[in-house]
Structure 1
Amino acid sequence: MIDLEKTVLILLAAGRSSRFPNGNKLEQEFLGRPVGLHVAVALEDMPFLDRIAVVDGSTLDYGAHGFRVIHNDDQAAGMSHSVGLGVAEAKRLGAEAVLIALADMPRVTAAHIYRMLDAADSADAVVASSDGAHPRPPALFARERFDFLMALEGDEGARRMVRAGRHVVTARAELVDIDTPEDLERLRTLVHSPPHSVARPSPTIGDAGV
C-alpha cells in the first residue's frame, strides 16, 4: 500500500472540449454543480501530500477545493504535456506516487481511490481503474514511473503501461466520462438529474478547465 499522505493528486482539467459545442464541458451543470468540480469535491477530505489542477481556461475555482493551479499553455501538445507538468511538480515535492484523475469524470468516489492505493505495493507500481473490461483513469503511478511520465509526448505509451498494470474494478457508472452533450444527457437520465441553471462561482485569477 502506498501512503496517501505521500501521494500527489493531479487533476487534469485542460483541453479543448472540441466535441462540446455549447462551451467548456467542465462548466456544464450536473447535480447542482459544474461537471469539473465533482471529483474535486469527492476527494476533498482525502489527505494527499498536495493537490494540483492542470488547467487552461475555465472559470472553475479549484483553489477553493485545496488545489494549486498549473497552467498548460501548450494545448497542442496534448494530455501528455499536462501529465508531465503535474508529475514534475510531484517529483519536486518528493512524492512517492501520483494519482492522475480527469475532471470530466464526475462520478469517481473516494472509496475507489482508497482501494487503488491498497493495490499499489511497490515503488514501480501502476494501478488503473477498470469497469471489468477496459482500464482507464483514475490511475496511480509510483515514483519509479515519474521519469517515464515526464518524457511522454503522446498518449499511447501511457496506455500500454496502464494496460500492463494492476486494475481495480468498480461499477461502470463510476467511470463515466463526459466528452459530448449526449454523454452528459445520458448521465443526467441515469441519475434523474434534469438540466437547470446553477450559480457560478466568481472567476478567480489562475483557474481553468479539460
Structure 2
Amino acid sequence: MLGSMAIRALSLSPLDSIAVVVHPDDPLDWLPALGNSAFSASPSAWPSIQVVTCTEASQGMSFSIRCGLKALIDDNPKLDAVVVVLADQPFITTGMIAELIGYLSERPELDYVATATDVGGEGEQNAILMPPAILSRSMFEVLLQLEGDAGARKLFGLPQFRGAALLAADRTTVFDVDTPADMVLATKQILGQTYIREHRF
C-alpha cells in the first residue's frame, strides 16, 4: 500500500515516465491500486509506468537506482533529468514533485534539486537533503557508479555538482517507513487522513 501511495503522487505529476524498481520476489500485489478510484485523473493521463526487476536490489539502494536509471535511459536515450523517490515515503505529494521539476527547469545551471527538512529552525543553513530529488543528466554517470547502500544523497555534497534545496512545507511528507514502529505511525496517519477526507462537511 505504501508504494502505491508514492506512485499515485508521481502519476499525477508532470513526469513523462516512471520506473518502479522491485525485487524479483516482489509479488506486486500492491500495483493494482494504480487502477482504483483513488486516482482523480483517467489512466490515459498517467505517465508510462514500467516495472523494473532488479536481481540485486537486496544488496543496496545503489543497485536499484542503477537498474531504474538504465531502464529509463534505454527507453529515452535523450533523457535530461530523473527524479529519485523512495517507495517507503508514502506521504510525498504531486506538488512536491512538480516544484522540483519546475525549479530545475528554470535554473538549468543546477545539477540537482533536493527536498530538505529544516533542523533546528535555521532554514537551508542547517537542512538535511534527501529524496524526492531531481538530478540532471550531468549526474547520470556518477549515479551509475554508486555502490552498496549509497543513494543519491551521497552525491549532494560533492564539490563538482551545484544544487539547491527546497524545504518541505510539512515534515510528514518526507517521513519514511524503515521500522515496524514507523509502519504503525504511518498507518495511523493514513487512517487519520482517510477519516478527514470521508467526514469533511
Q: What is the TM-score normalised by the length of structure 1?
A: 0.68
- The match for 2:95 is 111
Measure how far apart 1:155 and its partner are. 4.4
Find the residue that maps to 2:68 and give its secondary structure: helix
More helix by share: 2
Quick one: distance in 2 between partners of 1:76 and 1:174?
25
Shift of the 192–50 alpha-carbon distance from structure 1 to 2, 3 Å rule, reads: closer
Counterpart position of 1:95: 79
Structure 2 residue aligned with 1:168, among 166, 169, 174?
166
Q: CA deviation at 1:162?
A: 2.2
Gaps of 5+ in 1: 1-33, 195-210
- Are 2:180 and 1:181 aligned? yes
Per-residue CA deviation, residues 103-127 of structure 1 (Å, 9 max, x unaligned), is 1111000111111112212265111
Q: Which has the larger radius of gyration?
A: 2
Could you tell me which of 131, 135, 152 is aligned with 1:137?
Answer: 131
Report what 1:61 is aligned to: 31
RMSD: 2.4
* 1:159 pairs with 2:153: yes
Residues 169, 82 of structure 1: alpha-carbon distance in 2 compared, 3 angstrom cutoff: same
Q: TM-score, normalised on structure 2?
A: 0.70
- The 1:123–1:80 alpha-carbon spacing in structure 2 relative to 1, beyond 3 Å, is farther
Give the aligned partner of residue 201 of structure 1. Answer: none
Number of equivalenced pairs: 161
The 1:123/1:71 distance shift into structure 2, 3 A limit, reads: farther
Distance of 2:88 and 2:22 partners within structure 1: 12
In structure 2, give the amino acid aligned to 1:128.
Answer: A
After TM superposition, give the deviation of residue 192 of structure 1 in Å: 4.9
Runs (4 or more) in structure 1 with deviation over 6 Å come to none
The match for 2:113 is 127
Question: 8 Å contact 2:83–2:132 — kept in the other structure?
Answer: yes
Match of 1:74 among 53, 56, 63: 56
Q: Distance in 2 between matches of 1:157 and 1:138?
A: 11
